Amino acid sequence: MRDFTKTKRIVIKIGTNVLTKNGGVDTKYVQNIARQINALLKTKKQIVIVTSGAIGMGAGQLKIENKTKDTKTKQACAAIGQPLLMAEYKKAFAKYKITAAQVLLTAEVLNNRKTYLNLKGVIETLLKLGVVPIINENDCVSTDEIGTAVKTGFGDNDKLSALVASKIDADALIMLTDIDGLYDKDPKKNKNAKKIPAVYEITKEIVKNAGGSGSRHATGGMKTKIEAAKIAANAGCRMILADGRKKDVIIKIMAGEIIGTIFMPKRKLGNRSRWILNSHPAGTIKLDAGAIKAIENKKSLLPSGIAAVEGTFEKGAVVMLGDKAKAVVNFGSAELKKLAGKHSREIEKLLGKGRKDVVATPEDIVIIN
Ligand code: GLU
Instruction: Output the domain CATH number for residue 298.
Output: 2.30.130.10
pLDDT class of 215 with cuts at 50, 70, 90: very low
CA separation for the pair 310, 254 (Å, rounded) = 46
User: Which pLDDT score is estimated for 211?
Assistant: 62
In a domain, 193, yes or no: yes
pLDDT-derived band at 24 (thresholds 50, 70, 90) equals confident
- Do 314 and 266 reside in the same domain of the chain? no
182 CA distance to ligand 1 middle (Å) = 21
318-321 vs 284-287, strand pairing mode:
parallel
User: To the nearest whole percent, how much of the chain has pLDDT over 70?
Assistant: 93
Give yes or no: residues 156 and 302 share one domain.
no
Same domain, 15 and 121: yes
Residue 187 lies in a domain: yes
Q: Domain of residue 336: give its range.
A: 281-367
pLDDT at 152 over 60: no
Q: Are residues 171 and 315 in the same domain?
A: no
Name which residue leads in pLDDT, 273 or 251.
251
Give bridge partners of residue 303 from the DSSP assignment: none
Contact 188, 23 (CB under 8 A): no
Min mean pLDDT across 94-103, 147-156, 321-330 is at 147-156
Which pLDDT score is estimated for 151? 37
Ligand 1: centre distance to CA 272 (Å):
28
Same structural domain for residues 231 and 299?
A: no
Q: What pLDDT shows up at residue 216? A: 43
Q: How confident is the model at residue 274 (pLDDT cuts 50, 70, 90)?
A: confident
Average pLDDT over residues 81-95: 96
Band of pLDDT at residue 148, cut at 50, 70 and 90: very low
Q: Flag whether pLDDT at 354 surpasses 80.
A: yes
Ligand 1 midpoint to CA 264 (Å): 25
Question: Does the residue 52 lie in any domain?
Answer: yes
Does a structural domain hold residue 90?
A: yes
Judge if 82 and 174 occupy the same domain.
yes
Quote the pLDDT of residue 143.
63
Does residue 3 lie in a domain region?
no
Distance of CA 109 to the CA centre of its chain: 12
Report if residue 115 sits inside a domain: yes
**Atom number, ligand 1, closest to the C-alpha of residue 55:** 10
Residue 91: inside a domain, yes or no?
yes
Q: Residues 237, 350: one domain?
A: no
Residues 260, 306 within the same domain? no
Q: Distance, CA 23 to ligand 1 centroid (Å)?
A: 14
pLDDT exceeds 60 at position 277: yes
Predicted model pTM = 0.83
Residue 347 confidence (pLDDT) above 60: yes
Residues 343 and 255 in one domain: no
Looking at the fold, whether 50 and 168 belong to one and the same domain comes out as: yes
Three-state DSSP at 52 gives: coil
CA-CA distance, 179 to 254, in Å (whole number)? Answer: 19
- The reply to whether 266 and 285 lie within a common domain is no
- Residue 22 CB burial class (10 angstroms; 0-12, 13-18, ≥19): exposed
Average pLDDT over residues 149-174: 81
Give how far Cα 307 sits from Cα of 154, 284, 303, 332, 337, Å: 31, 11, 9, 15, 9
Q: Of ligand 1's atoms, which has the minimum distance to the CA of residue 137? A: 1
**Could you tell me if the CB of 220 is within 6 A of ligand 1?**
yes
* pLDDT exceeds 90 at position 184: no
pLDDT at 145: 56
pLDDT at 154: 56
Residue 1 is assigned to a structural domain of this protein: no
What share of the chain in percent tops pLDDT 90?
68
Q: Quote the number of domains for the chain.
A: 2
Residue 301: the pLDDT is 96
Query: What's residue 208's pLDDT?
Result: 78
Instruction: Dump the DSSP string for 94-107.
Output: HTTT--EEEEEE-H
Quick one: 78 and 138 in the same domain?
Answer: yes
**Atom of ligand 1 minimally distant from the CA of 220:** 9
Residue whose C-alpha is closest to residue 119's, from 219, 45, 48, 51? 48
Average pLDDT for 264-270: 82
Average pLDDT value for residue range 170-192: 88
Which pLDDT score, from 0 to 100, does residue 233 have? 92
Calculate how far, in angstroms, residue 181's C-alpha sits from the geometric centre of ligand 1. Answer: 20
Which of 245, 273, 301 finishes a domain? 273
